Structure 1
């Protein structure tokens, strides 16, 4: 059992996005979408740019409106599952240290991916999985809707104002902000609009995230 810095019932909670925040999966995502596009005779680069901004069903509607969306989704899932089995993954520097210091009852994962893929990636990178994991199948509205983060807070027994969301992408940042949480951005050279704090890397954010989790961070929205 995790015996980190925080204890069950702590007043502070940390909610993490996965891809791009804890797991470096950018190359994997690009490769999957480019392979998917090739199957349908589409421009891989153009499809990927759309996929970065939208959920899969919205991407299909934009780039392949005449195709059966269920068929498109099945093809994408096939490629993603194969990538989990055979792709190369790495956790961002600081992720293992950070997650091992947090008590399992005080943090969660909030992802637009599916739980079995997240668990596969975490197993391959040695990261611990918390008790609360909100995935694409758990909600009817994905990011940038606040629903995923609000559901995670509910499952943690936490108030949104006591939660810190760690994100790397605009849709995730918007989701966290709309849920009423403090939102910090990581792993980008420039801040995403709206974040309360910005860190160039996850590693840089580790001390401050742990301080937030223990209630010792004095200015979480600076």
Structure 2
């Protein structure tokens, strides 16, 4: 990601929409532990497979592989159950919990490819507040990069997606935010390699805050140095 894009986006928004994994919490260790064991059992190349799991629904990941004799729905359920049971090492992205708690409850939502039970388990493990509006894998017929999840979250908040700021970390989620017509900011805390993007970026939430104006718009501001 280029230096010129490494700054909080300016502008006034109706709401903030957050992806979960890699965006407000870091579940990479747990997710890759579960998926790595699954990939090993199915004879996949773990190193090349694991980068493909992030941001997508489990059922979509398994379906995409088209493994002979493997039922994606059944396998996704097994993987989800294993992930619910294993929350070791799940932590917040720096400053995320405080930042989210500072937002009016009517001004934000979480939009995740995880099933609802897993999403709630992971947010609790990271001490992330569970929002009033939570859109999960079960709520949409097609996962990211389809924009339906972000369009649904905006609708539940009573705003237009084009007036929202989407916080994302993965290419499929960024594509979903773009397709929904929202402004996108990329959270880079969990990126181990540079990712090319024309969107602005933030590393974490430690140096930003939200400000609601008199017309009920919300802005992202940077803390003074």
Q: Same fold (TM over 0.5)?
A: yes
Aligned twin of 1:71: 74
Cα separation, 1, equivalents of 2:202 and 2:220: 17
1:191: how far off? 5.2
1:113 aligns with 2:114: yes
Computed over aligned residues only, the root mean square deviation of the Cα atoms, in angstroms, reads 2.6
Encode CA deviations 1:98-125: one digit per residue, 9 max, x unaligned. 0111011110000000111121122222
Give unpaired runs (5+ residues) of structure 2.
Answer: 1-11
Q: TM-score, normalised by structure 1?
A: 0.81
Of the structure 1 ranges 114-123 and 174-183, higher mean CA displacement relative to structure 2 is found in 114-123
**What aligned pairs does 1:137-152 form with structure 2 within 5 A after superposition?**
137-152=138-153
Contact 2:55 2:173 in 1 (8 A): no
Greater per-residue strand proportion: 2
Greater per-residue helix proportion: 1
Q: TM-score, normalised by structure 2?
A: 0.80
| Alpha-carbon distance change, 62 to 181 in structure 1, aligned in 2, over 3 angstroms | closer
Cα separation, 2, equivalents of 1:218 and 1:140: 32
**What aligned pairs does 1:9-88 form with structure 2 within 5 A after superposition?**
12-52=14-54, 55-63=57-65, 65-69=67-71, 70-84=73-87, 87-88=88-89
Aligned partner of 1:193 among 194, 197, 206: 197
Larger RCO: 1 or 2 (CA < 8 Å, sep 6+): 2
Cα separation, 2, equivalents of 1:218 and 1:131: 21
Contact 1:170 1:193 in 2 (8 A): no
